[in-house]
Structure 1
């Protein structure tokens, strides 16, 4: 199903040069954030406790995520814990407005852990609780990224764990903008990393 928040986008290019077409495609794809979701509920619980993933951020190319309002409703506080990897420093910010970085930010330095809190995420919104938008940006790189998952040596790796998101009580608790990865009971996240854009671009270049 299609998320109505991100309809199909048609781009027009003045020419068929690879550089022009690729630039427009990257610009369109980069506006679509990855998705962070809650897990399936444990017995008698309404919120998940510790679910997470790792990510790699390239300097100059922030990664964006979106938490749907369904996972924020009826929660007291959402905690997003970021663990550094020694590759450099990150700045993470949360906003309730799409396209805005926001002012609720933390710095994640070197190997340190920092917590980004969203207290009472639906308080003050009497009609509809808005999604939360998360931006992760590199502020300093040590050019140490050497793991198999590193695309470039200047990338900065992080581990993010979230607590307090509303969880799934049954398979009926889904909508068109929710994707949950099943399998391991300790991890029910689907994160559409923006490295997908690089894959799409490589396919397009191969057609020229």
Structure 2
């Protein structure tokens, strides 16, 4: 990706922040580390600590950069204005979206977001059991949207995120790709574990 800036945080982990003009980021739901795909690019993959970053010195701005959900979630958590830098977000089988409208904090989800596919994220404040072996992931208070993980996804969700119990989720960050549905409160049903990242 041209126009990325590598930055180090106070514990020495290197990340990349997308900066500059209009560009496209492809969310690759099958990978946890970012990749750079370009025919005419000189590529450098930086892996420091647990954070992976990708600097692609492509000559063409039209070459999309490919990122995993965890990488994007880390950028959202570390750099609050990351999604406001106006880039396009492409999601397999869902389309292309503007970053400033696509990424929404779960505590800011309201009725205007109902049925709108997006990347909803935040810090987990609690988890509670639901019917049929499912569970609710909560951020904020009663007015904040929640994520519903159905019982049939529980085992795969635990395995993918290396969890022993629901309490392992508290205090971690979550991003889920989906659409909020109204009910007694807004909630986002998880369509599959590939649509969710925990870090």
Range into which the TM-score falls when normalised by the shorter chain: under 0.3
Q: Which has the higher strand share?
A: 2
Q: TM-score, normalised by structure 1?
A: 0.25
Structure with the greater alpha carbon radius of gyration: 1
Q: Which has the higher contact order (CA 8 A, sep 6+)?
A: 1
TM-score by length of 2: 0.25
